[in-house]
Chain A
Amino acid sequence: MKDFLQQIIYGINAGSIYALIALGYTMVYGIVKLINFAHGDILMMGAYFGLLAITVLGLPFPLAIVIAMLVCAAFGMIINKVAYKPLRNAPRISALITALGISMFLENYFVVQFGLEVRKMPEIAWLKGEVFIGGLSIPKVTFLIVGLSIACMIALQFIVRKTKVGKAMRAVSEDMQAAKLMGINVDKTISITFALGSALGGLGGVLYSVAYYQVEPYMGILPGLKAFVAAVLGGIGIIPGAMFGGFVMGIIENLTKGFISSSWSNAILFGILILVLLFKPSGIFGKNTREKV
């Protein structure tokens, strides 16, 4: 039982990072119907920018997080403008292939800039060590990761549900043309969506590198794909679904590692994608809402 709970804690830790990244996939899909396969690389970039902010600029960790999020937000908007916006009226497959191209470009650009060597995120003194609760050991960094992730998700929900820009995002995602006829600047709204999703991805990157210490150009691929599965599991385009899917993925991954075998964990995670696509392609939170027309 203790082992089980211990793995659940590790699972929540990993899952909150998957949830952050899954949000980026699902928000962008929700609004432009594009799986932004470059989103995993935003995570990688966030980790690098966080690392550089700490090691080169000598900034404190909280500020490094903010910088990583801001720079990733900017890159998200640039990627949208350069790569996806010109293809808005093109067949969807063109945009998808472009996303893969952007992903490869970013990975290789970071290889050229920073080399293939695996860099280590410096240990943050106040995050070292563990807290023991009822015989369970919880790394201090887990509190930070889970706390920050959940805070950001609540903030995002607030933005999407209550603010003018969030409502515009929902309107554009439902009917782009009707949104234009309301006076909504669709391009700007899409750009903001990319910025928000990428900022969360950047945060995910910093937290991921703090949890697992390493930073390298291909680090975004696997967590990116797992987060994509999380978004599909929860129901692509549905924000609470992405959060839920992220936590489920993290917990399943760690239970597999703890009780079956580490080498099986990825096979099982991606097996989930196949099962979802076979039996409930709309995801757990996706329902066929009846709409009168």
Chain B
Amino acid sequence: MLKVNDIQVYYGAIHAIKGISFEVNQGEIVTLIGANGAGKTTILHTVSGLIKPKTGNVQLFDKEISNIEAHKIVEMGMAQVPEGRRVFAKMSVQENLEMGAFSRKDKGNFDADYDMVFEKFPRLKERRKQLAGTMSGGEQQMLAMARALMSRPKILLMDEPSMGLAPILVDEIFNIIQEINKAGTTILLVEQNAHKALTIASRAYVLETGTVVLSGPANELLDNDEVKRAYLG
């Protein structure tokens, strides 16, 4: 479904991604784990089209998307829940969800989609009229996820969805990620909480300073001594 072929990405003079390849197949949860600065967010930005790789390419549904603008990639069926949630703080919950559906061609009636996201995130329904910026961090994370789902993505990229949340909320968020996946959406998950991520993922790639150092089925990596020492503590 998603194929990343040997991409190299620079931030000005900084060589952030030094030749990374990975793929995500239909129906999987694939996770990229690694420490801060390993290049996880840069990879998601490159896949989403926010930054362009210097060499290598990204393919979505067997079509090269490395040179397609970010907003058109969303139309193709890939959505992202960005790091730090990035909800539109001065817009209401309802308006944030509408923005999520912005790329949809089937105009007008999104009632079924609202029902779907409100069923997953009941708290958002109560707060439909509230400004997103006045909600708690956990609620904003739920809004960011609901917003991404409004585009009816075939593949969903999630960047650190558990960041800064209380443990009980982290569990809830990870349960919802599994639900979304079971309902048919493929997921590429970037996480610092390696243990949680490996528990729900089917496969994983371990990143260190811009390269993949390890990859394999998630349950094998959970037992890998090196991974245990470096990421699971």
Would you call B98 an interface residue if the criterion is a C-beta within 8 Å of the partner chain's C-beta atoms?
A: yes
B71 and A183: CB pair below 8 A? yes
Would you call A168 an interface residue if the criterion is a C-beta within 8 Å of the partner chain's C-beta atoms?
A: yes
- Tell me how far the C-beta of B58 lies from the nearest C-beta in chain A, rounded to whole angstroms: 15
Contacts of B48 in A (CB 8 A): 180-181
A167 and B50: CB pair below 8 A? no
Contacts of B137 in A (CB 8 A): 292-293
B133 and A167: CB pair below 8 A? no
Contacts of B91 in A (CB 8 A): 167, 170-171, 174
B89 and A182: CB pair below 8 A? no
Q: What 1/0 mask marks residues of chain A from 174 to 208 whose CB sits below 8 Å from any chain B CB?
A: 11011111111110000000000000000000000
Q: What 1/0 mask marks residues of chain B from 67 to 81 whose CB sits below 8 Å from any chain A CB?
A: 001111011000110
CA–CA, A292 to B137, complex, Å?
Answer: 7
- Tell me how far the C-beta of A202 lies from the nearest C-beta in chain B, rounded to whole angstroms: 29
Would you call B129 an interface residue if the criterion is a C-beta within 8 Å of the partner chain's C-beta atoms?
A: no
A168 and B70: CB pair below 8 A? no
CA–CA, A293 to B71, complex, Å?
Answer: 25
A182 and B140: CB pair below 8 A? no
B133 and A291: CB pair below 8 A? yes
A177 and B82: CB pair below 8 A? yes
CA–CA, A292 to B91, complex, Å?
Answer: 14
Would you call B27 an interface residue if the criterion is a C-beta within 8 Å of the partner chain's C-beta atoms?
A: no
- Name the interface residues of A234-256: CB closer than 8 Å to any CB of B: none
Would you call B151 an interface residue if the criterion is a C-beta within 8 Å of the partner chain's C-beta atoms?
A: yes
Would you call A164 an interface residue if the criterion is a C-beta within 8 Å of the partner chain's C-beta atoms?
A: yes
**Nearest residue in A to B84 (C-beta to C-beta)?**
A293
Stretch from B1-9, B99-107, B117-125, B181-189 forming part of the interface with A: B99-107
Contacts of A291 in B (CB 8 A): 89, 133-134
Contact of B70 among A164, A170, A181, A289 (CB under 8 A): A181
Would you call B90 an interface residue if the criterion is a C-beta within 8 Å of the partner chain's C-beta atoms?
A: yes
B99 and A171: CB pair below 8 A? yes
A175 and B134: CB pair below 8 A? no
- Tell me how far the C-beta of A72 lies from the nearest C-beta in chain B, rounded to whole angstroms: 27
CA–CA, A179 to B95, complex, Å?
Answer: 12
CA–CA, A170 to B92, complex, Å?
Answer: 11
B133 and A175: CB pair below 8 A? no
Contacts of A183 in B (CB 8 A): 71-72, 74-75, 102-103, 151
Contact of B80 among A181, A186, A293 (CB under 8 A): A181
Contacts of B109 in A (CB 8 A): none
CA–CA, A185 to B42, complex, Å?
Answer: 21
CA–CA, A182 to B87, complex, Å?
Answer: 11
B102 and A184: CB pair below 8 A? yes
4 nearest A-B residue pairs (beta carbon): A183-B103, A183-B74, A178-B86, A291-B133
A-B contact list, 27 entries, CB within 8 Å:
A168-B99, A170-B95, A171-B91, A174-B91, A177-B50, A178-B82, A179-B99, A180-B48, A180-B49, A180-B69, A181-B74, A181-B80, A181-B82, A182-B71, A182-B102, A182-B151, A183-B71, A183-B72, A183-B103, A183-B151, A186-B71, A289-B89, A289-B90, A291-B89, A291-B134, A292-B133, A292-B137
B interface with A by C-beta (< 8 Å): 48-50, 69-72, 74-75, 79-80, 82, 84, 86-91, 95, 98-100, 102-103, 133-137, 140, 147, 151
- Beyond A175-B88, A183-B103, A184-B99, list 15 extra A-B contacts (CB 8 Å): A170-B88, A170-B91, A178-B82, A181-B48, A181-B79, A181-B80, A182-B99, A182-B100, A182-B102, A182-B103, A182-B147, A183-B72, A184-B102, A185-B71, A293-B84
